[in-house]
Amino acid sequence: MIRLRPWKKEELKELLGWFSDEEEFSRWSAGKFTYPLTQEQLLDYYERFEKDSCGWIMAALDDRGRLAGHIMMRKADYERNSVHFGFIVVSPEFRGKGIGRLMVSQGLKYAGEILGMKSVTLGVFENNPAARHCYESAGFRTEEILKDEFDYHGEKWTLVNMAASI
């Protein structure tokens, strides 16, 4: 079981240890943060979302209330009834147990039942097959493939934009 609730400021430091190397970090951050991740960057991120009426940072908790994952919802469009998921990551101690799929599924449920959205979008790099499989298993389908969208130390990564109907 996974529960979603708003992310708490004091939990920001937890994210600092969730990335094993710069490449894994870059797949998550897509250049929106610099490596290595710092508390200052996370505090700025948190404070921006505190002021954003169309975005939220959510924590995923396991059945014992332990922090298991992070998912951000942004670009809430109340006319088109859509929202975008991003910065999806599972704590290392919970990886490989289906938590990512449960977290994304709960995110879809939250977007539909609480926010009243009809669709959710997200982006994933093609070189992250585990994440892509996770999103597909939660109901996302490929909408667009953008070749050479992100530069990682001279290597061009392809971005796969996905969407799910709720």
Q: Tell me the pairing of strands 119-125 and 141-152.
A: unpaired
Q: Where does the chain show beta strands of DSSP type E? A: 3-6, 56-61, 67-77, 82-90, 119-125, 141-152, 155-165
Q: Mean pLDDT of all residues in the chain?
A: 98
Give every CB contact of residue 146 below 8 A, 6+ residues apart in sequence.
Answer: 158, 159, 160, 161
Q: pLDDT tens digits, residue range 102-116?
A: 999 999 999 999 999
Instruction: Specify whether the CB–CB gap between 62 and 1 falls below 8 A.
Output: yes
Domains along the chain with CATH numbers: 3-118 (3.40.630.30)
Q: pLDDT tens digits, residue range 44-54?
A: 999 999 999 99
Give the full edge-to-edge strand order of the sheet including 56-61. 3-6, 56-61, 67-77, 82-90, 119-125, 155-165, 141-152
| Residue with token string 């009834």 | 81
Rounded Cα gap, residues 104 and 139, in angstroms: 9
Q: pLDDT tens digits, residue range 55-98?
A: 999 999 999 999 999 999 999 999 999 999 999 999 999 999 99
| Residue with token string 């994440």 | 131
What's the pTM value of the predicted model, to 2 decimals? 0.97
